[in-house]
Amino acid sequence: MSQVLNQASGFLPILMHGVYLTVLVTLGAFALATVLGLVLAFMRVGGIPQLAWTARTVIVVVRGIPGMVTLFYIYFVGPDFGLSLTAVQAAILGLGIAYSPYMAEMFRAGIEAIDRGQTEAALSIGMGWGLLMRRVILPQATRVALPPYGSTMVMLLKDSSLASTITVAELSLQGKLLASSTFQNTTVFTMVALMYLAMSLPLTAFNGWLERRMRRSQ
């Protein structure tokens, strides 16, 4: 047992560097996916047919392409079109794009769940589109979208391992390299699994706390 603990303590600094890159890619991609998702959702519900059609097309196309292929395209094909990114930048951009359709549908569902009468009443008193979104639509849509929104972040945290396919030394790749060099597969991959779990559980708990808080505030 003491030998396993000594091995684990020696492996920990290497794996923690992987944790840092995992968190960096996850947060960056999540922020980008949120922004792109909001833009696509507004395009779909904005009442302009051309924008709605464009948003639907983007959502269908991006959802139909595996996230790994999106990463490959950005990192390996991008330079042919003058887009040269580091592996971390490509991972953030690729995963952000890959997750944006799911965010868009989530936000769209939240917006469309609001009674249309509230929108008509707000417009009838002269409230502009921007103010309508901030004061009426988004606060209520957030309550609807919050549970899947939090779950999506946990999914993205786990899918950040796809970044290893374009040489980002995040947690899963660090674990693989460490295991192949030390042959301590059980110890290394047990540590990797526990580290992913340690990152996922607080996110799940925080999302549950937010849901309960928002229900009490209704």
Segment 105-120, tens digit of pLDDT: 988 888 877 777 766 6
Q: What is the mean pLDDT of the chain?
A: 85
Long-range CB contacts for residues 170-178, cutoff 8 Å, separation at least 24: 170/18, 170/21, 170/22, 170/25, 171/15, 171/18, 171/19, 171/21, 171/22, 171/195, 171/196, 172/18, 173/18, 174/14, 174/15, 174/17, 174/18, 175/15, 175/18, 178/11, 178/14, 178/15
Q: Is 118 helix (H, G, I), strand (E, B) or coil?
A: helix
User: Tell me, what amino acid is at 163?
Assistant: A
* Higher-confidence position of 138 and 97: 97
Q: How confident is the model at residue 27 (pLDDT cuts 50, 70, 90)?
A: very high
Q: How confident is the model at residue 133 (pLDDT cuts 50, 70, 90)?
A: confident
Tell me what pLDDT residue 93 has: 96
Tell me what pLDDT residue 146 has: 74
Q: What value does the mean pLDDT take over residues 205-218? A: 73
Q: How confident is the model at residue 208 (pLDDT cuts 50, 70, 90)?
A: confident
Segment 170-197, tens digit of pLDDT: 999 899 998 888 888 888 899 999 999 9
Tell me what pLDDT residue 216 has: 66
Question: What percent of the chain clears pLDDT 70, i.e. is strictly above it?
Answer: 89
Neighbouring CB atoms inside 10 A of 91's CB total 29
Domain 2-217 class in CATH: mainly alpha
Separation CA 109–CA 113 (nearest Å): 6
- Nearest residue to 169 via CA among 66, 16, 67: 16
pLDDT at 4 over 60: no
Cβ neighbours of residue 24 closer than 8 Å, sequence gap 6 or more = 88, 92
pLDDT at 1 over 60: no
